Amino acid sequence: MLKEIANELTLTVRTAPDKLDVEVTGGYASDLLSRVMAKAKKGNLWVTIQAHPNIVAVASLLELAGIIVAEDVELDPVTIEKANEEGIPILTTEYCTFAIVSKLAQLGVAGVD
């Protein structure tokens, strides 16, 4: 469950707090959106340092469980607005992508390959 992951890793829930009761089917990490489009699967948790509104479109089209924005990159206000509209949870963390992915792996979130 995304909620448990958020609690365990003390991620800050920035959008769609009512959408955290979802099963996470795996994880994918990349900052190149077309790579994400090609590889990430439904229900995956996506780790990135992109914070512009288009990440919401990507997550919504792929029906991802949520987005973790690493290194506390500041979210664009439009990103927040859109994510709430689309019901996509965005969680932020101070850790870098590598660090948060290794923590996710310890919790049993597996890569999609």
Partner 1 sequence: MKRAKEVTRVQELVYELKVEQAMTGDVVAVTPQTLMVEFREILRVNRISGTPVLENGELVGIVSIEDLIKALASSELEATVGEKMTTEVKTLYADEPLIQAVGKFARYGFGRFPAVDRQGKLVGILTQGDIVKGLLKRLEIDYHEEEIHRYRASHIFEDIVADEAALLFRYNVIGQDFTRAGEASSKLKRTLSRLGINPRIIRQVAIISYEAEMNIVIFTDGGELVAEVRPERIKIEAIDGGPGIPDIEKAMHPGFSTAPEWVREMGFGAGMGLLNIQACSDEMKLESTVGVETHLEAIVYVEGGKGDAERDSQ
Binding site for partner 1 (CB under 8 A): 14-18, 31-35, 37-38, 41-42, 48, 50, 52-58, 60-63, 75, 77-78, 80-81, 84, 86
The token duo for 44 is 């995956």
User: Whose Cβ is closer to partner 1: residue 37's or residue 107's?
Assistant: 37
In the three-class reduction of DSSP (H, G, I as helix; E, B as strand; rest coil), residue 13 is classed as strand
**How many whole angstroms separate alpha carbon 112 and alpha carbon 65?**
14
User: Whose Cβ is closer to partner 1: residue 18's or residue 108's?
Assistant: 18
Cα–Cα–Cα angle for 32, 37, 35, nearest 5°? 35
| Rounded least distance, CB 31 to partner 1, Å | 5
| Rounded least distance, CB 68 to partner 1, Å | 15
